[in-house]
């Protein structure tokens, strides 16, 4: 499994789109991994997780061929994870000779996607409503278990267990501390990669996003429950500029915890 983190920021990007605060000025000056676009991932070049407003720019920056994407998993219906109008361009006259894309997400996600894909041929068979804890198989055999996420309930929030072959990913962005039912759904799985929401960084705990300390606590519980071990790659991702730490400063916070700090363009291969 090859996982590309196309973006690593929260909704405002980093530097923030309209922001002139000190940490955004510092990010402009430092550049590199401290420049963060909105979060999303690409798995094995064919499975997209979330469709943020920066997807086109990210694809050009990283030399990606998104015409190869066959399936898109959407975590929730907020605009920084679902730039729904981009899907309108996945049909002629805007796109040619690409495979039909299937979109998977909660009820609110699919409601929004329907309005943007009215011109898609065979639309009704390409949009799929996911229910928490009801696993599905994509057409290529990829196993996906949707999990409840602790986020805005009206956005149909989900996290995902994604298994391809003998490798399994827990994609846990846009969630605070996981609901107990989701913890229970981890049982029976072993995770090779775990990507955890750290939007709130070193700030106060939030019901809808994670902190650095919570990420470490999630790792500790997974190790204790046997769903991860020393070989598991733990990644902190989805950062708000309000935490006021540049990339190297976030790495300093996580030093000794065994976490990789996510950044735009990070590739994980397992």
Share of the chain above pLDDT 90, in %: 97
State the average pLDDT over residues 198-216.
89
Q: Which CATH superfamily is domain 2-269 in?
A: Ribonuclease Z/Hydroxyacylglutathione hydrolase-like (3.60.15.10)
pLDDT in tens, 129-163: 999 999 999 999 999 999 999 999 999 999 999 99
Q: What integer is the mean pLDDT of 204-222?
A: 91
pTM above 0.85, yes or no: yes
Whether residue 104 has pLDDT greater than 80: yes
> String of b and e for 114-127 (b: at least 16 CB within 10 Å)?
bebbeebeeeeebb
Q: Which helix (H) or strand (E) holds 180?
A: helix 180-186
Helix (H, G, I), strand (E, B) or coil at 103: strand
State residue 203's pLDDT score: 83
Domain residue spans of the chain: 2-269
Cβ–Cβ under 8 Å, residues 198 and 236:
yes
When pLDDT is cut at 50, 70 and 90, the band that residue 207 belongs to is confident
* Residue 138: CB atoms within 10 Å: 18
Q: What is the Cα–Cα distance from 97 to 213, expressed in whole angstroms? A: 47
Q: What angle do CA 126, 128, 133 make, to 5 degrees?
A: 155
Using only C-alpha atoms, the chain has a radius of gyration, in whole angstroms, of 18
What would the mean pLDDT of 8-22 be, rounded to a whole number? 96
Q: What is the pLDDT of residues 36-52, one digit of tens each?
A: 999 999 999 999 999 99
263, 249 Cβ separation under 8 angstroms? no
> Across residues 217-245, what is the average pLDDT?
97
Closest C-alpha among 265, 145, 138, 150 to residue 206? 150
């Amino acid at each position: 499994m090859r996982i590309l983190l196309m973006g690593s920021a929260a909704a405002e990007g980093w530097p923030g789109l309209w922001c002139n605060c000190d940490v955004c000025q510092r990010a402009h000056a430092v550049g590199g991994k401290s420049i963060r676009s909105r979060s999303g991932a690409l798995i094995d070049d064919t499975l997209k997780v979330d469709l943020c407003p920066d997807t086109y720019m990210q694809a050009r920056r990283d030399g990606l061929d998104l015409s190869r994407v066959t399936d898109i998993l959407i975590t929730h219906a907020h605009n920084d994870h679902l730039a729904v109008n981009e899907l309108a361009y996945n049909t002629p006259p805007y796109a040619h000779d690409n495979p039909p894309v299937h979109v998977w997400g909660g009820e609110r996600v699919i409601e929004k996607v329907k309005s943007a894909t009215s011109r898609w041929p065979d639309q009704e068979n390409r949009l799929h409503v996911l229910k928490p804890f009801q696993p599905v198989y994509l057409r290529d055999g990829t196993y996906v278990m949707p999990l409840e996420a602790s986020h805005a309930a009206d956005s149909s929030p989900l996290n995902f267990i994604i298994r391809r072959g003998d490798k399994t990913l827990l994609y846990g962005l846009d969630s605070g501390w996981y609901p107990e039912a989701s913890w229970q759904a981890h049982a029976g799985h072993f995770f090779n990669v775990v990507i955890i929401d750290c939007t709130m960084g070193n700030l106060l705990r939030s019901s809808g996003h994670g902190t650095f300390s919570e990420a470490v606590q999630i790792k500790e519980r997974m190790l204790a429950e046997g769903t991860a071990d020393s070989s598991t790659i733990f990644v902190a991702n989805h950062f708000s500029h309000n935490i006021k730490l540049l990339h190297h400063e976030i790495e300093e916070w996580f030093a000794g915890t065994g976490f990789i700090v996510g950044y735009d363009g990070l590739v994980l291969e397992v």
